[in-house]
Amino acid sequence: MDDYQRIHGGDTRVIMVETYSGLDYVMQFYGNRTTKGAQMPFNFQFIIGGNGDKNNTQLNASGFVKIISSWLSQMPAGQTANWVMGNHDQRRVGSRYGENRIDLMNMLQMFLPGVSITYQGEELGMTDLDISWEDSRDPAACNSNSDIYEQFTRDPARTPFQWSDEANAGFSTNATTWLPINPNHVTVNAKAENSTSPSHLSLYKQLVDLRKSKTLRFGATRYANVGDNVVAIRRYLSGEPTYVLVANVLDTSVSGIDVASAIYATGSYKIKLLNPQAKATVGDSVTLSNLKLEPYAALILESV
């Protein structure tokens, strides 16, 4: 691929490798000092490292930090991290981590250093749909039987993309679709969320814009959990604004949290972005040494 670019020009071509294996094996796909590897061996730690086959609603802050550290601490020097929250083989993020953490998970994924890989519909907050045996299409399910197919099916996360509240979610003009449409498409769809703020999609677009900043593109990273509830991440770069993500990943509120000491954050901060669970307002000042967060609240703060 490097030779192709050398001969034909254009953008750098990259290799993305999908392998469900132990981290020590996955890291070898980056290559070494003598052999070039892939730029992006898929990082499935938020799937397989976080009990991806189960509902992870109660995964606490130390569990999140363990997942982040497992990749960043083992990644070879000079390489780029990547983060995959969901894919077509797994339950959707909102069904796996809980619907109250949909925006929180998007904020976390887009804030971490490296490449953010989004499975279609996660930017809308799409969730799984239970698929009957009669409607099943996944070979892994169809090759079993009606009593046990739900142990194997991947169909619930493969329902058509929800473009609008129209028939078949605006996905198809056919009378029926390959898999049934999730009834929640009436409210969870791209058309509605494009014209509404706050929405999962409006926040996602703001995160895309924030990722264009030099701090998030090139900055260093420090992260920690503060107790069981709070994940804190600081992204910083000399001469540029510092950004801090604080997220309460559990269903209990916390107060008096000292995030500043945990991630060595100094100075004053104001709210840049937040999810609906956070009872605050963009532009509000925040004291990192004495922080209060509602259940599942997530804030991205900017230095002032």
Do 223 and 299 have their domain in common? yes
Residue 82 domain flag? no
Residue 196 domain flag? no
Q: For the segment 236-275, what is each residue's pLDDT rounded down to a tens digit?
A: 999 999 999 999 999 999 999 999 999 999 999 999 999 9
Task: Return the SS3 of 163.
Answer: coil
CA distance 266 to 268: 7
Which residues constitute the domain of residue 152? 139-187
Residue 22 domain flag? no
Instruction: State the maximum Cα–Cα separation within the chain, in Å, rounded to a whole number.
Output: 61
Q: Are strands 40-41 and 16-17 parallel, antiparallel or unpaired?
A: parallel
Mean pLDDT confidence for 198-218 = 98
Residue 173 domain flag? yes
The residue whose two tokens read 């083992």 is 74
CA distance 220 to 237: 6
Residue of 144, 97, 149 whose CA lies nearest to 125: 97
Phi, psi values for residue 303, rounded to 5°: -70, 150
Amino acid 53: pLDDT: 55
Number of domains in the chain: 2
Q: For the segment 14-51, what is each residue's pLDDT rounded down to a tens digit?
A: 999 998 899 999 999 999 989 999 999 999 999 986 65
Residue 147 domain flag? yes
For residue 265, give the CATH number of its domain. Answer: 2.60.40.1180
CB environment 222-232: b (16+ within 10 A), e (fewer): ebbbbeebbbb
Model confidence at 54, pLDDT cuts 50, 70, 90, reads low
Residue 150 domain flag? yes
pTM of the model: 0.95
Residue 160 domain flag? yes
Residue 270 domain flag? yes
